[in-house]
Amino acid sequence: MDVVRGGPADVPAIMRMLDDAQDWLASQGRTGQWGTDHWSAIPAAVDRFTQLASSGTVWLAVVDGTVAGVIITSTTSPDYVPPATEPEHYVSLLVTARAFAGAGVGATLLAHARTEARAAGVELLRVDCYDGDDHRLVAYYEKQGFTPIATFTAKNGTWPGRLLAQRL
C-alpha cells in the first residue's frame, strides 16, 4: 500500500467511497451517521468535500493502482467542536473503500497523518466522529490511540458526536 498526495481532482473517488460506506452502514441498520441519501447526489455535499479537498491536505492510500482510502487533514477544526488551544492537525475525513475494509487502510492513513503532523512540529492530532448507534467508530479511534475529550451535537442537535485527541 502506498500513500500518495491527492487533491480536488480526487473528489469523485472520495464520493464513491462515501456512497459505498453509506450503503454498507445502511445495510447494517446504522443510518444515524450518514442517512440513506447518497452524498454524491447532494450538490451541497459534493461542494463540501470539494472545499475540504481544496483547503485541506489530501492523502490517498493506493493498492495496485486502486484508491483504497483517503484522509484529509487541516490545521483548523470545524466550528462545531471546541477549538484547540495549540497548533493541531485535524482529521476532517477518513474513509476506506469497502473492498479494502479490514486491511489496515485507516490505520495506515492515520499513521501517515501523525508523521506529517510531527514533521510540521505539531504535537496534537484531533478527529471527531459519530457517537450514536453502537459507538463502534469511537472505539475504532480509541484503538488507534485517540482519547475522547468532548461530546457535542451537530446538525441542529440531531447528530451526536465525539471529539478525540492524540498527543504526538
Q: Specify the CATH number for the domain of residue 104.
A: 3.40.630.30
Phi, psi of 112 (to 5 degrees): -65, -40
Residue with cell 447518497: 38
Q: Contact at 8 Å (CB) between 151 and 130?
A: no
To the question of pTM greater than 0.85 for the whole model, the response is yes
134, part of any domain:
no
pLDDT tens digits, the chain, 168 residues: what are they?
Answer: 999 999 999 999 999 999 999 999 999 998 989 889 999 999 999 999 999 999 999 999 999 999 999 999 999 999 999 999 999 999 999 999 999 999 999 999 999 999 999 999 999 999 999 998 889 999 999 999 999 999 999 888 788 999 999 999
41, part of any domain:
yes
Please give the residue range of the domain that contains residue 27.
2-126
28, part of any domain:
yes
* Rounded Cα gap, residues 125 and 71, in angstroms: 13
What contacts 120, CB < 8 A, 6 or more positions away?
A: 89
Domain count within the chain: 1
136, part of any domain:
no
Which pLDDT value is given to residue 158?
82
161, part of any domain:
no
